[in-house]
Amino acid sequence: MTTSLKLISHKLCPYVQRAVIALKEKGVPFERIDIDLANKPDWFLKLSPLGKVPVLVVTTEKSEVALFESNVICEYIEETQGGVRLHPAEALERAEHRAWMEFGSAILGDLWGLETTTDPATFENKRQALAAKFARVEAALGAGPYFAGEAFSLVDAVFAPIFRYFDVFDELAELGIFKELQKVRTWRAELARRPSVRSAVGADYPQLLRAFLARHDAHLLKLAA
């Protein structure tokens, strides 16, 4: 059965990047359509019950199904596409990976607060929350180079877009979040070199993120003044 994949995305969305990285790691052809989340097209709202990206439209000879929520999309890609495995084969280890994917989503929640707040106290609260969460990640990491050792996994696909934020943040201020976390710093550097990670966003990503910070009058920008 012939299947085509269309990924509805936004240029800055870290959840979209998870799906893009998974598809690229699998070597799966797909069409990517970027939309403006501030002006969502009607056709997109009909596809996405939550009004969020990513949405993966799976078209077969018999049906067209719109999948939403990034982890659901990544799991579908893993279960249906060939290529390298992105989840462990053993059930308990696979469940552990899924738990750390959720932990990555919790980190993104704190990151949203860090990058959008105008309040110095809230900013510092989020900075400390991120430092604490990454300390937990440090304790979970092994010898590397990836989360679970030699094999790249969906946990890596989740964390790579998180680290990408800090490529821009580091140019603005010294946040000190990774200062004492050698394993996290090494993992971050290794993910940044991965072709699937590098190509998950456009060359304009840093400029778009800076513009996003400016629109929110982010406290983070004031640290760079």
What CA dihedral angle connects 163, 164, 167 and 169, to 10 degrees?
Answer: -80
Please give the pLDDT value at position 1: 65
Catalytic-role residue among 5, 7, 8, 13: 13
pLDDT of 210 > 90? The answer is: yes
Tell me which of 80, 106, 140 is where a domain ends.
80
Q: What is the mean pLDDT of residues 66-82?
A: 96
Helix spans in the chain (H): 14-26, 42-47, 70-80, 91-116, 120-140, 154-172, 182-193, 195-198, 205-215, 219-223
Q: Is residue 86 part of a domain?
A: no
Q: Is residue 14 part of a domain?
A: yes
Please give the pLDDT value at position 59: 97
Please, what sign has the CA dihedral across residues 36, 42, 44, 49? positive
Residues 33 and 130 in one domain: no
Query: Residue 86 pairs with which residues in a beta bridge?
Result: none
Please give the pLDDT value at position 20: 98
Residues 100 and 153 in one domain: yes
pLDDT by residue (tens digit) across 175-184? 999 999 999 9
Residue of 155, 149, 62, 142 lying closest to 107 (CA atoms): 155
Determine the Cα–Cα distance for residues 50 and 93; give it in Å rounded to an integer: 30
Sheet-wide strand order for 4-9:
31-34, 4-9, 55-59, 64-68
Query: Per the structure block, which two tokens stand in for 66?
Result: 């719109």
Please give the pLDDT value at position 2: 79
Range of the domain at 19: 4-80
Residues 96 and 70 in one domain: no
Q: How confident is the model at residue 25 (pLDDT cuts 50, 70, 90)?
A: very high
pLDDT of 167 > 90? The answer is: yes
Determine the Cα–Cα distance for residues 152 and 173; give it in Å rounded to an integer: 30
Please give the pLDDT value at position 225: 60
Query: Per the structure block, which two tokens stand in for 220?
Result: 């983070």
Tell me which of 45, 80, 115 is where a domain ends.
80
Q: Are strands 31-34 and 4-9 parallel, antiparallel or unpaired?
A: parallel
Please give the pLDDT value at position 28: 95
Q: Is residue 67 part of a domain?
A: yes
Q: What is the pTM of this model?
A: 0.96
Q: What is the mean pLDDT of residues 165-178?
A: 96
Residues 208 and 132 in one domain: yes
The CATH code of the domain that includes 8 is: 3.40.30.10
Residues 72 and 99 in one domain: no
Per-chain mean pLDDT for the chain: 96
Name, in order, each residue with C-beta under 8 angstroms of 16's C-beta and a sequence gap of 6 or more: 7, 9, 10, 53, 54, 70
Residues 43 and 110 in one domain: no
Residues 25 and 119 in one domain: no
Count how many domains the chain has: 2
Please give the pLDDT value at position 224: 74
What CA dihedral angle connects 198, 16, 175 and 132, to 10 degrees?
Answer: -120
Please give the pLDDT value at position 76: 97
Determine the Cα–Cα distance for residues 2 and 144; give it in Å rounded to an integer: 38
Q: What is the mean pLDDT of residues 29-44?
A: 96
- The reply to whether 74 belongs to the active site is no
pLDDT of 60 > 90? The answer is: yes
Q: What is the mean pLDDT of residues 138-153?
A: 96
Residues 53 and 103 in one domain: no
Q: What is the mean pLDDT of residues 64-91?
A: 96
